[in-house]
Amino acid sequence: MRIATFNINGIGARLPALLQWLDETKPDVACLQELKAPQEKFPEMEIRAAGYTPLWHGQKSWNGVAILARTVDGGPEPQELQRGLPGDPDDEQSRYIEAAVNGILVACLYLPNGNPAPGPKFDYKLKWFARLHARAQELIDSGAPVVLCGDYNVIPTELDVYKPERWVDDALFRPESRAAFNQLMAQGWTDALRATHPDEVIYTFWDYFRNAFGRNAGIRIDHLLLSPALAPHLKSAGVDRDVRGREKPSDHAPTWVELAWPAQ
DNA sequence: ATGGCTATGAGACATAGA
């Protein structure tokens, strides 16, 4: 079973690229971030025609997340479990959705960027992180097989950025952000990409400026974390890097895990 | 230190991204 995460940076602008990637790699579950579309402008018909049943939480202009389950070949329908990250009823940003698919709990998140730091946006990032800690602990404690995936907007270590010294004051790499990510990991999650490639330089994002992709000036910020119940089923993980080099690409590349699931 | 590029929403640039 393959589960992928892809920050598409606008589902309106990215629909052809998204459909091509779905057709080529046929993930069983695809988690999307940065829809940048209100609820009513999600291209539901096109996604269904591609063989997927979508759940989505839109928002005008920014944010927006979705979980797509491949149902064309008899795959199970996704069951929505949660919409919005618990812990702050005043938070109106669409950054979190959860669904059960084929016995796995899939959580799709878009963690706040937090720049400029320090400042109110960075404060919001850290508060959002604290709420994520609480929800993630509940998921661990449930004993369920869970994939907690998406755009974390955190560069975990110096191995995950082309030039660490350029990023020391950035909200994606500041000590507070990395500490928050480490605190999450300490609950018992497995970083699937790093677990399967311990020493390799692998990026998931390259900005649009200065030919960053051509120079491989990237960062690793899209992560798939596996709960203790699911980690033993990890087979492989990777990044569909070629997608970033196509016409009208997102600035992120799809990132995925292959799981031995259902368990034998 | 700045600016480089892309998207949305509006109908010109402002805002956000990372």
Q: How far is CA A33 from the centre of its chain?
A: 7
CA A8 to mean position of chain CA atoms: 10
Nearest nucleotide, C1' to the C-alpha of A33?
B17
Q: What is the mean predicted confidence (pLDDT) over A11-16?
A: 96
Model confidence pLDDT, tens digit, residues A237-247: 999 999 999 99
Q: Please compute the mean of the pLDDT values over residues A60-71 and round it to a whole number.
A: 97
> Nearest residue to B8, CA vs C1'?
A61
Terminal CA-CA length for chain A? 13
For chain A, give the percent of residues with pLDDT over 90.
98
pTM (predicted TM-score):
0.97
Q: What tens digit of pLDDT does each residue of A36-52 get?
A: 999 999 999 999 999 99
Statement: residue A263 has pLDDT above 90: no
Active-site annotation holds for A88? no
Position A50, amino acid: A
pLDDT confidence band for A255 (50 / 70 / 90)? very high
The predicted structure's pLDDT at residue A5: 98
Tell me what the mean pLDDT of segment A225-254 comes to.
97
Catalytic residue among A28, A52, A96, A110: A110
Instruction: Please state, for a pLDDT cut of 70, what percent of chain A lies above it.
Output: 100
* CA–CA gap between residue A179 and residue A161 (Å, rounded): 16
Confidence at A261, pLDDT banded by 50, 70, 90? very high
Amino acid A213: pLDDT: 95
The per-residue pLDDT for A61 is 93
Q: Is the CB of A121 under 7 A from strand B?
A: yes
pLDDT tens digits for range A97-117: 999 999 999 999 999 999 999
Would the pLDDT of A56 be above 90? yes
pLDDT in tens, A82-99: 999 999 999 999 999 999
3-class secondary-structure state, position A82? strand
A56 CA from B18 C1′ (Å): 24
Q: Which nucleotide is nearest to A249 (CA to C1')?
A: B6
Q: Tens digits of per-residue pLDDT, A192-209?
A: 999 999 999 999 999 999
Distance CA A72, CA A52 (A): 7
DSSP class per residue in chain A: -EEEEEE-S-HHHHHHHHHHHHHHH--SEEEEE---S-GGGS-HHHHHHTTEEEEEE--SSS--EEEEEE-TTSPPPPEEEEES-TT-TT-----EEEEEETTEEEEEEE-----SSSSHHHHHHHHHHHHHHHHHHHHHHHT--EEEEEE-----SGGGBS-GGGSTTSTTTSHHHHHHHHHHHTTT-EEHHHHHSSS----SEE-SSTTTTTTT-EE--EEEEE-TTTGGGEEEEEE-GGGGGSSS--SB--EEEEE--S--
Measuring from the CA of residue A36 to each C1', which nucleotide is nearest?
B8
Average pLDDT of span A112-127: 95
Q: What token pair was written down for A255?
A: 């990132």
What domains are there in chain A, each with its CATH number?
2-259 (3.60.10.10)
Q: Convert the pLDDT of each residue in A162-187 to its tens digit.
A: 999 999 999 999 999 999 999 999 99
Question: How many residues belong to chain A?
Answer: 264
Q: Would you call A151 a catalytic residue per the annotation?
A: yes
- Chain A residues 161-220 with Cβ under 7 Å of strand B are 172, 205, 207-210, 219
Q: With beta carbons less than 8 A apart as the criterion, state whether A84 and A67 touch.
A: no
**Does strand B come within 7 Å of the CB of A61?**
yes
